[in-house]
């Protein structure tokens, strides 16, 4: 019989778009119908991490995960699992290797190899209730810092932990705090950079949506160590749920006395504001971000002076990203000795990655620093989709690079990745298979950086545009062999002479793809061929009249009506209207569509 | 036209003035004011920018500079249904470009344009964070995922 228990429904952005909201309503209706509304609680949590199989729910009592749950499954879940205590086998995850359903969370490969510290509350607590955070040791670190430690001791502890900035560059956090603390001035600010603009990265959003108090607590402790009394969270406007949860969390923290004046009876005051960005990738750069809060165009400026000396409104300011801040409560609560056991010699702790692209298990993955790419992609991610061959993993977004199969045993830490020509970046990992063209990927990133370049400095504004034009030409089969050298030359110049991080790292995707996939550039230029069959200008489709049985399946599924013909006679593709989507190739049962 | 009505102030302007009053004395008020003005009007018409400039004592040129810098602000009204096609990395490698081409062909508009009947506005965005469902589009913030080009016609028809 059902006893007091909770059903955790993932209501993060991914699962919400797969229908988690309706699922919560349906569960509540069904529980009421069965007279269980008093004993069983349905909790909408933050991201549980397994976005591929969303919406997901966890029956907390037995730690069982149900995947791809729909409203139609609700009655059975309540009747079987909640009332009779019998698992609904058809909704369990099928293990890829054993091909058997897996009952418990801890036995699912995707979760078993992870080490969840920052994500420990995500998908477990209701992020809109502060009591659920405090019940899981929330705000204990703040109490420890304010009651038992001086601000010097807090700073020292963070320095000893070896924590490095999770925003990408990996600057030691304690050192950064020390600069701001040492700067002259009474008024100081701390800022949380939640302008997570890297396409394919969503870990900061998930932390803010699923565990907003951990970020607030981290900022409070940082402000105490630095001597700041006001803070901002700069969050992308594209993340409405993160902003909403953050605002609720701030209000509840104020009511509970964790934010405001004389926090927990001490003489420490701290006020926190949320600032919604307005859609500009460059605002992830710290000086651009501050200009944006000041109500200006978000353009970076020359450093020095560094923000630690002259930042927001000219006052000393310390900026860290979401994941960095949410590391802080764990370091203070458990001590730096505990923290330094995790990770490698120079990169401590864990890192969250957003695993996406052509991988079986997309979702959020938290692993100790130093885990290899192979472990993340194959052991946790379950390898490449549809049995295709692995080609590359893109790491670090528009500032990072693509790594081939031969580099898969690279440990993921700041220094190893930098050596390999990529960077940890914010933590997006996009998996690419044999059908992804690497020249096209380089062109894709350049089209992104040219659009997002703020235009202030010439190398970035003009240089990225020229590189884009060359890459575009190559993907159309109009490249010249000297283009590769020109690209490398331009890339190095832009890297050295751009004003801010955006321009300095924009050439990385090109340099890395030329380094590891030069043969693909050459195939486009010399042979006018795209080895991956992805560049549409180098493709043409036609129908083999002898093989075509005239079934019309291709024409029926063609999104543009460019295939015409009569039943039982060979069909014809009109090339002018063809968008080269390849749907006809996938649909034809007789291999009659020829792709050249 | 009724002459008495000329004295009346547009109800939208009352909302706008409330927003301006709320933010006027805060630090860095311009971007939140523009965001909320856009929520009230659906876009940022010239007369609204002029009004903000006058009441907040910020030069119009500076406001225009800010409006044109950020992707969120629009100077022309959008269609009844706003289609955001995600071309983040994950969507790109899973065929987002083909989804975009299909929509462009179907509606005969490009990124940033609106159909003549004002039924659809098409916008390309870089990552809406639903990478697990790639490739995705969102129409009026409703996300459609795991798309293939042949799904498009049916989905578009749902939005009047």
CB contact, 8 Å: B61 with chain A?
no
- Residue A249 contacts residue A46 (beta carbons within 8 Å): no
> Who among A239, A298, A581 is closest to B98 (CB)?
A581
Tell me the shortest Cα–Cα distance from A85 to chain B, in angstroms: 31
The two three-digit tokens of residue A567, written as one number: 């039943």
Terminus-to-terminus CA distance in chain A, angstroms?
63
Residue B106 at interface with chain A, using a CB cutoff of 8 Å: yes
Strand partners, A192: A233, A320
Buried b (16+ CB within 10 A) or exposed e, A283-293: bbbbbbbbbbb
pLDDT for B2 equals 55
pLDDT score of A333 more than 80: yes
Token code pair at residue B54: 């006058």
Q: What is the pLDDT of residue A585?
A: 87
Cα gap B47→A403, rounded to integer Å: 52
CA distance B24 to chain A (A): 12
Which residues 24-53 of chain B have a CB within 8 Å of chain A? 27-32, 34-35
Summarize pLDDT for A478-518 with one digit per residue, the tens: 999 999 999 999 999 999 999 999 999 999 999 999 999 99
CB distance A284 to A195 below 8 Å: yes
Cross-chain residue pair B89–A357, CB shorter than 8 Å? yes
Write down the mean pLDDT value for chain A. Answer: 93
Candidates B130, B150, B132, B42; CA nearest to B84 is B130
Inter-chain touch B98–A579, beta carbons under 8 Å: yes
SS (H, E, C) A290-346: HHHHCCCCCCCCCCCCCCCCCCHHHCCEEEEEHHHHHHHHHHHHHCHHHHHCCECCC
Contact A436 B101 (CB under 8 A): no
What residues have CB less than 8 Å from B146, skipping those under 6 apart?
B133, B134, B135, B136
Distance from CA of B92 to the nearest CA of A (A): 8
Select from A452, A451, A436 the least CA-distant residue to A389. A436
Q: Taking a C-beta distance cutoff of 8 angstroms, is the pair A502, A452 a contact? A: yes
- Give the per-residue pLDDT at A1: 47
Chain B CA closest to residue A402: B89
For A143-156, what is the mean pLDDT?
A: 98
Instruction: Please name the member of B93, B98, B131 whose beta carbon is closest to the beta carbon of A432.
Output: B93
Averaged pLDDT, A197-217 = 93
Q: What 8-state DSSP symbol labels residue A388?
A: P
Encode pLDDT of A374-418 as tens digits: 999 999 999 999 999 999 999 988 888 899 999 999 999 999 998
- Region A124-129: mean pLDDT is 96
- State whether A363 and B153 contact (CB < 8 Å): no
| pLDDT at residue B10, rounded to an integer | 84
Q: What is the mean pLDDT of residues A264-276?
A: 97
**Phi then psi dihedrals of residue A350, to 5 deg:** -110, 170
pLDDT tens per residue across span A424-436 = 887 899 999 999 9
Please indicate whether, in this complex, the C-beta atoms of B145 and A18 are within 8 angstroms of each other.
yes
Please determine, for residue B107, whether its predicted confidence score (pLDDT) is greater than 80: yes
Question: Cα(A472)–Cα(A440) distance, rounded to whole angstroms?
Answer: 8
Tell me whether residues A14 and B132 touch, CB distance under 8 A: yes
- Residue contact A441–B105, C-beta within 8 A: no
d(CA A448, CA A333): 41
Predicted local distance difference test score (pLDDT) of residue A283: 95
Burial class (CB in 10 A: 0-12, 13-18, 19+), A514: buried
Q: Which residue among B88, B102, B145 places its CB closest to the CB of A199?
A: B88
Chain B residues with beta carbon closer than 8 angstroms to that of A291: none
Mean pLDDT of B36-50: 95
- Of residues A96 and A5, more confidence is placed in A5
Report the pLDDT averaged over residues B83-106. 92
- Per the CB < 8 Å rule, is B89 touching A430? yes
Which residue's structure tokens are 């990169």? A347
Q: Please give the average per-residue pLDDT across A141-167, as a whole number.
A: 97
Per-residue pLDDT averaged across B102-110, rounded? 94
Compute how many other C-beta atoms are within 10 angstroms of the C-beta atom of residue B46. Answer: 10
User: For residue A509, what are the CA distances in angstroms to A178, A395, A428, A519, B65?
Assistant: 33, 9, 14, 16, 31
B-chain CB neighbours of A277 within 8 Å are 70
A268, A444, A508 from A449: Cα distances, Å:
42, 9, 11
Of the candidates B27, B70, B102, which has its C-beta nearest A313's C-beta? B27
The mean pLDDT of A277-306, rounded to a whole number, is: 95
pLDDT digits (tens, 9 = 90+) for A526-576: 999 999 988 988 888 889 999 999 999 999 888 888 899 998 889 999 888
**How many percent of chain A have pLDDT more than 70?**
99
A65 bridge partner residues: A58
B89, A356: Cβ pair inside 8 Å? yes
The verdict on a CB contact (< 8 Å) between B125 and A238 is yes
Interchain pair B125, A52: CB under 8 A: no
pLDDT mean over A463-478: 96
Q: Give residues with Cβ within 8 angstroms of A182, minimum separation 6.
A: none
- What's the mean pLDDT when you consider all of chain B? 90
For residue B102, give the chain A residue with the closest CA. A559
Please state the three-class secondary structure of A18-75 as a single string.
Answer: CCHHHHHHHHHHHHHHCCCCCCEEEEEECCCCCHHHCCCEEECCCCEEECCCCHHHHH
Q: CA-CA distance, A173 to A161, in Å (whole number)?
A: 9
**Residues of B in Cβ contact (< 8 Å) with A558:** 150
Kindly state whether B82 is in contact with chain A, defined as any CB-CB distance less than 8 angstroms: no
Query: Using CA atoms, how far apart are residues A404 and A393, in angstroms rounded to an integer?
Result: 7
Residue of B nearest to A53 (CA): B132
Q: In whole angstroms, what is the distance from residue A563 CA to residue A592 CA?
A: 13
pLDDT value of position A4: 84
Q: Is the pLDDT of residue A143 over 70?
A: yes
- Cβ–Cβ gap B132/A356 under 8 Å: yes
For residue A239, name the pLDDT band (cuts at 50, 70, 90). Answer: confident
CA distance B102 to chain A (A): 6
Question: Which of B69, B126, B127 shows the shortest C-beta gap to A298?
Answer: B69
pTM of the model: 0.92
How far apart CA A144 and CA A141 sit, in angstroms, is: 5
Plot region of A203 (φ>0 → left; ψ -120 to 50 → alpha; else → beta)? alpha
Count CB-CB contacts under 10 A for residue A215.
29
Q: Which two tokens stand for residue A266?
A: 């001490």
Round to whole Å and give the CA distance between A514 and A508: 10
Show the tokens assigned to A473. Answer: 């030409």
Of B32, B70, B89, the CB nearest to A199: B89
Q: Are strands B120-125 and B81-86 parallel, antiparallel or unpaired?
A: parallel
Residue of A nearest to B66 (CA): A297
> For residue B4, what pLDDT band results from cuts at 50, 70 and 90?
low
B67's tokens: 């409006």
In A464-596, beta strands by DSSP E = 541-543, 563-564, 572-573, 593-595
Q: How far apart are CA A122 and CA A208, in angstroms?
A: 9
pLDDT for residue A319: 97
Q: Of the candidates B66, B98, B130, which has its C-beta nearest A17's C-beta?
A: B130
Task: Give the per-residue pLDDT at A3.
Answer: 65
- Residue A54: which of B125, B132, B136 has the nearest Cβ? B132
């Amino acid at each position: 019989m059902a006893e007091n228990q909770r059903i955790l429904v993932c209501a993060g952005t991914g699962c919400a778009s797969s229908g988690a909201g309706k699922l919560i309503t349906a569960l509540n209706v069904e529980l009421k119908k069965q007279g269980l509304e008093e004993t069983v609680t349905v909790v909408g949590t933050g991201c549980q991490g397994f976005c591929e199989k969303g919406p997901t729910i966890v029956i907390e009592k037995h730690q069982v995960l149900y995947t791809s749950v729909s409203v139609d499954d609700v009655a059975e879940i309540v009747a079987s699992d909640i009332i009779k205590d019998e698992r609904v086998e058809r909704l369990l995850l099928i293990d890829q290797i054993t091909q058997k359903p897996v009952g418990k969370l801890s036995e699912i490969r995707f979760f078993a190899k992870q080490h969840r510290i920052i994500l420990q509350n995500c998908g477990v607590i209701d992020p809109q209730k502060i009591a659920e955070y405090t019940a899981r040791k929330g705000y204990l670190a703040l109490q420890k810092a304010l009651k038992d430690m001086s601000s010097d001791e807090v700073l020292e502890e963070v320095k000893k932990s070896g924590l490095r900035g999770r925003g990408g560059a990996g600057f030691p956090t304690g050192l950064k705090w020390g600069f701001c603390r040492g700067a002259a001035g009474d008024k100081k600010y701390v800022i949380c950079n939640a302008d997570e603009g890297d396409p394919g990265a969503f870990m900061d959003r998930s932390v803010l949506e699923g565990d907003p108090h951990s970020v607030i607590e981290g900022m409070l402790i940082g402000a105490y160590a630095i001597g700041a009394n006001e803070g901002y969270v700069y969050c992308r406007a594209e993340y409405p749920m993160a902003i909403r949860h953050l605002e609720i969390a701030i209000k509840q923290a104020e009511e509970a006395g964790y934010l405001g004046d004389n926090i927990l009876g001490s003489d420490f005051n701290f006020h926190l504001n949320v600032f919604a960005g307005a859609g500009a990738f460059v605002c992830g750069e710290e000086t651009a971000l501050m200009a944006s809060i000041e109500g200006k165009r978000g353009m970076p400026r020359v450093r020095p002076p560094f923000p630690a000396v002259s930042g927001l409104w000219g006052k000393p300011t310390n900026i860290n990203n979401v994941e960095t801040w949410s590391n802080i409560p764990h370091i203070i609560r458990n001590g730096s000795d505990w923290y330094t056991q995790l990770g490698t010699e120079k990169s401590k702790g864990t890192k969250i990655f957003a695993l996406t692209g052509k991988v079986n298990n997309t979702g959020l993955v938290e692993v100790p620093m130093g885990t290899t790419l192979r472990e993340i992609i194959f052991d946790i991610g379950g390898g490449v989709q549809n049995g295709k061959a692995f080609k590359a993993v893109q790491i670090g977004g528009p500032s990072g690079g693509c790594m081939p199969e031969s580099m898969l045993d690279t440990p993921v830490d700041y220094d190893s990745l930098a050596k390999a020509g990529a960077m940890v970046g914010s933590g997006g990992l996009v998996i690419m298979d044999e059908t992804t063209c690497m020249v096209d990927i380089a062109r894709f990133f350049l089209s992104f950086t040219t659009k997002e370049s703020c235009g202030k400095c010439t190398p970035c504004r003009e240089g990225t545009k020229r590189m884009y034009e060359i890459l575009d030409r190559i993907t159309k089969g109009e490249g010249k062999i000297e283009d590769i050298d020109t690209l490398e030359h331009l890339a190095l110049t832009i890297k050295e002479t751009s004003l801010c991080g955006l321009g300095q790292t924009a050439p990385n995707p090109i340099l890395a793809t030329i380094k590891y996939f030069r043969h693909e550039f050459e195939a486009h230029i010399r042979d006018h061929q795209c080895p991956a069959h992805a560049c549409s200008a180098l493709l043409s489709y036609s129908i083999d009249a002898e093989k075509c049985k005239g079934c019309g399946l291709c024409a029926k599924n063609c999104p543009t009506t460019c295939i015409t013909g009569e039943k039982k006679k060979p069909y014809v593709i009109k090339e002018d209207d063809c968008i080269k989507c390849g749907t006809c190739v996938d649909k034809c049962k007789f291999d009659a569509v020829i792709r050249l | 036209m009724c002459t008495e009505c000329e004295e009346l102030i547009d109800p939208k302007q009352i909302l706008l003035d409330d927003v301006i009053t709320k933010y006027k004395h805060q630090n860095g008020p311009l971007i939140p004011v523009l965001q909320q003005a856009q929520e009230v009007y659906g876009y940022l018409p010239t007369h609204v920018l002029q009004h903000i400039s006058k009441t907040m004592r910020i030069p119009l040129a500076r406001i225009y500079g800010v409006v044109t810098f950020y992707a969120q602000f629009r100077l022309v009204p959008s269609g009844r249904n706003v289609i955001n096609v995600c071309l983040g990395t994950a969507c790109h490698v899973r065929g987002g470009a083909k989804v975009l081409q299909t929509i462009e062909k179907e509606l005969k508009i490009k990124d940033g344009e609106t159909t003549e009947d004002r039924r659809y506005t098409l916008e390309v965005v870089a990552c809406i964070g639903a990478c697990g469902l790639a490739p995705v589009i969102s129409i009026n913030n409703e996300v459609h995922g795991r798309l293939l080009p042949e799904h498009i016609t049916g989905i578009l028809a749902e939005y009047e």
